[in-house]
Structure 1
Amino acid sequence: MPNSHLQEPLTPTKYSRPLLESLLQRNEQWSQDIYSVDPEFFPTSALGQRPKVLWIGCSDSRVPETTLVAARPGDIFVHRNIANQFHLDDDSANAALCFAVEEAGVQHILVVGHTICGGCKAAWNSAKEDADNKSTALSRFISPLIKLRHELTDRKPSPTFQTLVEENVSEAVRKISMTETVQNNWAKSDGTGEGVQVHGLIYHLETGRLHNLHVSRLPPSPAGTPTEEEVAEIGAVDPTRASVKRQTSFSKLDPDQQLSELLKELRIPEKRED
């Protein structure tokens, strides 16, 4: 008999009901709280979404994007996975990116890592040969992270665990900027600098604060296209392609101007006075 080894799902027991009931009660209270502030919020939200931000973050339960920037449903389009990675051959991540940019019309892509990341810790403690271990879905998924960890070993000064956490974010920012979705978006901006922006952030579990890594990639500005050195920095791409010539290098952004202004737009609005 096919799949005879699989267990049938169990009927909810008295041990599972309290947790489920608690979640439902908390949801009821939350929806009532929103309604009391804005009775039209949910009917309006049901009509469609126009988020300004795509958040690519870690699955860690301690890093809930909407909560930590005091946002509301509809403010942030989200893709989360183990250790906030972005693989160029990952259809799930690329589909989320494509929909967010081309359909939802996001203006900013935030790659958000965090301190004490379990996925990065697993990679940090792995032997070099573990990068070739494909035995489980988890080992396959963190394989690029293990490779990155061992590529850092020759750096001076010696890398720390936090170095891996930050480099993992930087690598995701770099890869996202190379995707067809972002390249096409930048090409359509036609040098106006108005295309999607890709940023890298770190969330500190110890303080609840976000930190800008200053590894942003921006669309080309009217000032011109990148130099050959900047294109070479991007990696294995063909510099003769027009889309690549439009790609920008790292941009040193002022966190008090760029990130602060972006997060201001995500704040829950104050209760309206009629």
Structure 2
Amino acid sequence: MHYHNYDDLIKNNQEWVEEKLSVDPSYFENLAKGQKPPFLFIGCSDSRMPLTNFTKTEAGELFIHRNVANQVSLTDMNLLSVLEYAVEALKVEHVVVCGHYFCGGVAAAYAGTATGVVGSWVNPIREVYLQNREEIDSLPSEEERVNRLAELNVIAQVGNIYKTSVLQRAFKSAQVPEVHGWVLDIKSGRIKELELPKEQWKELGILS
């Protein structure tokens, strides 16, 4: 893998601007007029998650929030403000929670080795593991166990999206975004859409 040095970043930006303008001279003028993205993307901070690359989207198409191991914490004002703005002001049509295989935060939660602030942050994933320990531990390799935990973590975070006051308000209006759970397989570059337990959530009152 080729790593850039700091000076390359500014140089690359200048080259990218020139490339964009050569194709569309009004590209940046149009960007500056405002945004109307159809998607809110909640993903992991991992450097291997270049979202626009994996989805072949352009600037202005994804409203994005990222944190370690793609957590949806009901006390996280940063995430809640992003979600509220995306749903109520931008009126996004879809909310995507996207985790990934080979996630360091998930692996640390599985092993119980995370400490300090990160340990506190990924503790909900540790809880997901303990709640699903029989299923996860039955898998033959640690890689499979950690990757299954990454999937279950995404499903849990989608459930948390539905629990927010933002989504509960949206259910009472005509504008309710569809919420999806994805896992990106870094080994293949492919996205897997996860099946969500919506009937179970309806029984619990999480979903209307």
Residue 100 (structure 1) aligned with residue 86 (structure 2): yes
Shift of 1:46: 0.8
Aligned residues of 2:37 and 2:63 also touching (Cα < 8 A) = yes
Name the structure 1 match of 2:126.
Answer: 146
Shift of 1:231: 3.2
Name the structure 2 match of 1:110.
Answer: 96
Residue 232 (structure 1) aligned with residue 203 (structure 2): yes
TM-score, scaled relative to structure 2: 0.88
Residues 70, 197 of structure 1: alpha-carbon distance in 2 compared, 3 angstrom cutoff:
same
Which one of 20, 35, 41 corresponds to residue 49 of structure 1? 35
**1:236-247 to 2 correspondence within 5 Å?**
247=207
In the alignment, the residues of structure 2 paired with residue 64 and residue 156 of structure 1 have an alpha-carbon distance, to the nearest angstrom, of: 28
Residue 172 (structure 1) aligned with residue 153 (structure 2): no
In the alignment, the residues of structure 2 paired with residue 122 and residue 204 of structure 1 have an alpha-carbon distance, to the nearest angstrom, of: 18
Residue 23 (structure 1) aligned with residue 3 (structure 2): no
Shift of 1:136: 2.4
Instruction: List gaps (5 residues or longer) in structure 1.
Output: 1-17, 218-225, 236-246, 249-274
Shift of 1:161: 1.8
Deviations 1:49-72 (A, max 9, x none): 110000000000111111111111
| Aligned amino acid, residue 149 of structure 1 | Y
Residues 215, 90 of structure 1: alpha-carbon distance in 2 compared, 3 angstrom cutoff:
same
Of structures 1 and 2, the one scoring higher in RCO (CA 8 A, sep 6+) is 2
Aligned residues of 1:51 and 1:75 also touching (Cα < 8 A) = yes
Instruction: List gaps (5 residues or longer) in structure 2.
Output: 140-144
Aligned residues of 1:173 and 1:216 also touching (Cα < 8 A) = no
Q: Which has the higher helix share?
A: 2
In the alignment, the residues of structure 1 paired with residue 165 and residue 134 of structure 2 have an alpha-carbon distance, to the nearest angstrom, of: 32
State which structure, 1 or 2, has the greater radius of gyration over its C-alpha atoms: 1
Residue 161 (structure 1) aligned with residue 132 (structure 2): no
In the alignment, the residues of structure 2 paired with residue 232 and residue 186 of structure 1 have an alpha-carbon distance, to the nearest angstrom, of: 16
Deviations 1:27-79 (A, max 9, x none): 11111111122211211111111100000000001111111111111110000
Shift of 1:158: 2.2
In the alignment, the residues of structure 2 paired with residue 20 and residue 157 of structure 1 have an alpha-carbon distance, to the nearest angstrom, of: 43
TM-score, scaled relative to structure 1: 0.68
Shift of 1:20: 2.4
Aligned residues of 1:54 and 1:77 also touching (Cα < 8 A) = yes
**SS at 2:173's partner residue?**
helix
Aligned residues of 1:198 and 1:216 also touching (Cα < 8 A) = no
In the alignment, the residues of structure 1 paired with residue 197 and residue 57 of structure 2 have an alpha-carbon distance, to the nearest angstrom, of: 22
Aligned residues of 2:109 and 2:119 also touching (Cα < 8 A) = no
Shift of 1:198: 0.4
**1:116-265 to 2 correspondence within 5 Å?**
116-126=102-112, 136-155=116-135, 158=138, 160-189=145-174, 195-215=176-196, 230-234=201-205, 247-248=207-208
Name the structure 1 match of 2:62.
Answer: 76
In the alignment, the residues of structure 1 paired with residue 64 and residue 25 of structure 2 have an alpha-carbon distance, to the nearest angstrom, of: 25
Name the structure 2 match of 1:256.
Answer: none
Shift of 1:216: 7.9
**SS at 1:162's partner residue?**
helix
In the alignment, the residues of structure 1 paired with residue 201 and residue 154 of structure 2 have an alpha-carbon distance, to the nearest angstrom, of: 19
**SS at 1:55's partner residue?**
strand
